[in-house]
Amino acid sequence: MTADDLAEAWTLGRWAFGGPAEAPPRAMVAIPEVHRWGAYDASGRLLGKVTDHEEHSWWGGRPVPAADVSGVAVAPEARRGGLARRLLTEALAAARDRGAAVSALYPTVSAAYRSLGWAVTGVLGSAVLDTAALPAAREPGVVLRPGTPADRPLVVDLYEQVARGFDGPLTRRGGRWELDPTAEQPLGDGVDLLTVAEEDGRVTGALGYERGRGYGADAALDVSDLLATTPTAARALVDVLAGWRTVTRTVDVPVLLGDAVSQVLPLERATARGAKAFMHRLVDVERAVAARGWPRHVRGAVTLGVVDDVAPWNTGTWRVELDGGAGEATRTTGDADLVVAAGGLALLWTGAAGGRSAAAAGLVSGPGDPAALDLLACGRAPQLLDYF
């Protein structure tokens, strides 16, 4: 699809997802790294669409080329005819041609994407907390200052320092992440206020959030970023949120389990948690094994068969070897005693499940011991901070 198709694409997406009738200006801008695929009837009417975001995500400390899917929509009269499958198959082939290794998406109907080789690998987490329950602790070594639009690149750098230590988060570089000087919110989408934490002249934390309306029982803060590279910065920024307790009852905070902030938040007091499941699939087996970082202490090899009807270039017998933080997948001849479906491969490669769990889900077959596939599952369970 081209820029001329964006208005019609927005309308189809609005019908599917209930968005506003008037598209935001940025949705009407063609971005080179955002690839849109459409299906049309003989008259040229748009029947279905898929959006593929060309970006990178962190896996084992390395940025891995990704094809992150969103906006899958089909006109009501054309549903259940296999149109979404055809669009996604075309998008996957094009993503492979440009160098993508892995794909992520947030499903509206997970069963449809499971049939295409994606597997549920995690849940986008947020915690709704009583503001009064947040720990209040001023940190004398931390300097807090209001952020400005000029600080946005610093926030991106800080995010990278935090996110690259986990598996799955987007890099937030390039494409739709480029700074837009004409944006209605110059501090970033959904950011009214930005607080920057500094220690010894170095930025160690950032808090971006939306104030919302009112100051009664329903008043709430919506945090988009709560990032810290030191425990002192984490405590200082949580203290800033605690300072809103007199005029906002609750705060919705993104959760990255294991980071400095999650060690400060009273997550046991969360009254609600975000529950947006996300899914992954491998776009290209050989590239995915080579592109990501693997735990340096893991060494070994396993031979497995892969069955992938949607991405047939993945189908075949592969020998996967890991050594010193690097991985390699090479084609080999003969039959493997372990055969993995595309969804099982996604669970293993992302570290979302081990071999026996994938076998119990019906995604591994053959006479071999599926525990041998734990070699592929040696990474950390994936986490995401961004909804798309």
Residue 94 contacts residue 52 (beta carbons within 8 Å) = yes
Same domain, 250 and 329: no
Residues 103 and 199 both lie in one domain: no
Kind and range of the H or E element at 357?
A: helix 355-360
pLDDT surpassing 90 at residue 54: yes
| Number of domains within the chain | 3
Residue 382 included in any domain: no
Domain match, 137 and 270 both: yes
Residues 135 and 241 in one domain: yes
Domain check: are 131 and 265 in the same one?
yes
Cα–Cα distance, 272 to 127 (Å, whole number): 6
pLDDT at 273 over 70: no
Where helices occur in 117-230 by DSSP H, the ranges are 152-163
pLDDT of amino acid 193: 96
The predicted model scores a pTM of 0.93
d(CA 108, CA 91): 18
Give the CATH number, domain containing residue 139.
Answer: 3.40.630.30
Instruction: Indicate whether 361 pLDDT > 80.
Output: yes
CA distance 152 to 157: 9
Share of the chain above pLDDT 70, in %: 98
CATH number at residue 304: 3.30.1050.10
Q: Does any domain span residue 17?
A: yes
Say if 79 falls within a structural domain. yes
Pair 299, 267 in one domain: no
Q: What is the pLDDT of residue 123?
A: 93
Residues 118 and 132 in one domain: no
Q: Which domain-ending residue is among 248, 274, 300?
A: 274
How confident is the model at residue 239, as a pLDDT? Answer: 97
Look up the domain containing 30 and give its range: 3-123
Q: Could you read off the pLDDT of 171-207 as tens digits, one per residue?
A: 999 888 886 655 677 888 889 999 999 999 999 999 9
Identify the domain boundary among 246, 274, 302.
274
Q: Is the dihedral of CA 21, 22, 26, 30 positive or negative?
A: positive
Residues 333 and 208 occupy one common structural domain: no
